[in-house]
Amino acid sequence: MNAPSSHTLQQLLDARYGQGPQTLDCINETIETLMQHRSVRAFTDQPLAPNTLELLIAAAQSASTSSNLQTWSVIAVEDPARKQRLSALAGNQVFINSCPLFLVWIADLARMQSMGETRGKTTGSLDYLEMMLVATIDSALAAQNAAIAAESLGLGTCYIGAIRNDLEGVARELGLPPRAFATFGMCVGYADPAQRSAIKPRLPQASVLHKEQYNLSVHGDVVETYNDTMDAFYAAQAMKPLGAWDLHSLNRVRGPEAMNGRDAMTAALHRLGFALK
C-alpha cells in the first residue's frame, strides 16, 4: 500500500535539507513514509477506499494523550456544501473543495465538562490555559498520526491553519458545544499527479536541535544559507519566488493586520467557553 520505494534515505535527506552529504542509515518503510512528506493542495476526484476514515481514526487514537483524558475530537466533512462554507471561512482556500475528506480537528474539553455534570463533579481546571494547551496538543498528536497513516496508504494531506481565522464561525458550522474549538483542518485525498509537490527543504538541523542547552547563536549563521536553499527550491519548482525566506516569514508575523482575524482569538475563545486563566 505504500508509495514505491524509489528514493534512498540519502536522497530524502538531500531533498529535506537541500544539501549533502549526511550519513544516516537505519531506514525502514515507516521512516521513509515520514521523510517523504509534502503537503498536497490538488486532489483527483478518486474517492477513498471503504473504511479509510475509520483506519485513520484508529491510528489517531493510538497516539499518546495526556493522562488518557483524550481531550480531542475530529469532524469528518464530506458534504460538498459544508466543505465550501468551511473553505470560505478558512481564507478561501478553494482546494478544500477538491479533497474527498476534510477533517477538522477539535481541542475538546466538552466531553470532560459533560462527564462532570453527569457525575456532579467540579471541573475547575478546564478554565485554565493549561487545559486548553493539553487539548490542543492532544489534537495535534492524533492528527499527525492520521496524516502519517494516510500517507502510508498513498494519500496526500494538507494542514489548514486558516480554520482558526474565524473560530466562532467554524464552531457554528460544525455545531461545536462550549469548551471546544477547531485547532486546524486537514485535507485528505489522492494527489493530482499533474501537480505533484516536492519535498520542501527545512532549516539545517543545527538550527532546531540543541544539545543540553539552547543555542541561538547557530541560527543567525545559517539563515542566509537557508534563504539560498529556498530560493533554489522555488526556482527548481518553477514556483513564484516569495523573496528571501526570512523576510517572507517576517512579513507573515509583522503584526495583527497580517493575522487574518486570528488577532481576535483570545476574545473568541472566551466566548467559546475557554476562560484561559
Question: Binding to its own copies (CB under 8 A): which residues in 142-181?
Answer: 143-145, 147-149, 152-153, 158-159, 161, 164, 174-177, 180
Identify the residue whose cell numbers are 477538522: 104
Write out the binding residues for its own copies, residues 74-103 only, by CB under 8 A: 74-79, 82
List 24, 232, 235, 236, residue binding its own copies (CB under 8 A): 24
State in angstroms the smallest separation of the CB of 176 from its own copies. 5
Interface residues for its own copies in 200-259 (CB under 8 A)?
200, 202-203, 205, 207-216, 219-220, 223, 245-247, 249-256, 258-259
- Residue 101: CB atoms within 10 A of its CB come to 21
Geometric angle at alpha carbon 254, from 253 and 258, rounded to 5°? 75
Q: What is the DSSP letter of 45?
A: S
Helices 245-252, 217-236: axis angle to 10 degrees equals 100
Q: Single out the segment in contact with its own copies by CB under 8 A; choices: 90-98, 187-195, 263-271.
A: 263-271
Closest separation in Å from C-beta 238 to its own copies: 18
Cβ-based nearer residue to its own copies, 88 or 140: 140
The CA distance from 172 to 168, in Å, is 6
CB 217 within 8 A of CB 198: no
Q: What is the CA radius of gyration of the chain?
A: 20
Cβ nearer to its own copies, comparing 122 with 193: 122
Residue 72, H or E segment: strand 72-77
- Binding its own copies by CB under 8 A: which of 10, 98, 123, 225? 123
Work out how close the CB of 6 gets to its own copies at its nearest, in angstroms, rounded to a whole number: 17
Min dist. Cβ of residue 98 to its own copies (A): 18
Nearer to its own copies, 96 or 153 (CB): 153
CA 229 to CA 223: how far, in whole Å?
Answer: 10
Residue 8 found at the interface with its own copies (CB under 8 A):
no
Only segment of 62-70, 90-98, 189-197 that touches its own copies (CB under 8 A):
62-70
Least distance in Å: CB of 8 to its own copies?
13
The answer to whether the beta carbons of residues 193 and 61 sit under 8 Å apart is: no
Q: How far is the CB of 9 from its own copies (least distance, A)?
A: 8
Can you tell me the distance from the alpha carbon of 33 to that of 2, in angstroms, rounded to the nearest whole number? Answer: 8
Helix (H, G, I), strand (E, B) or coil at 159: strand
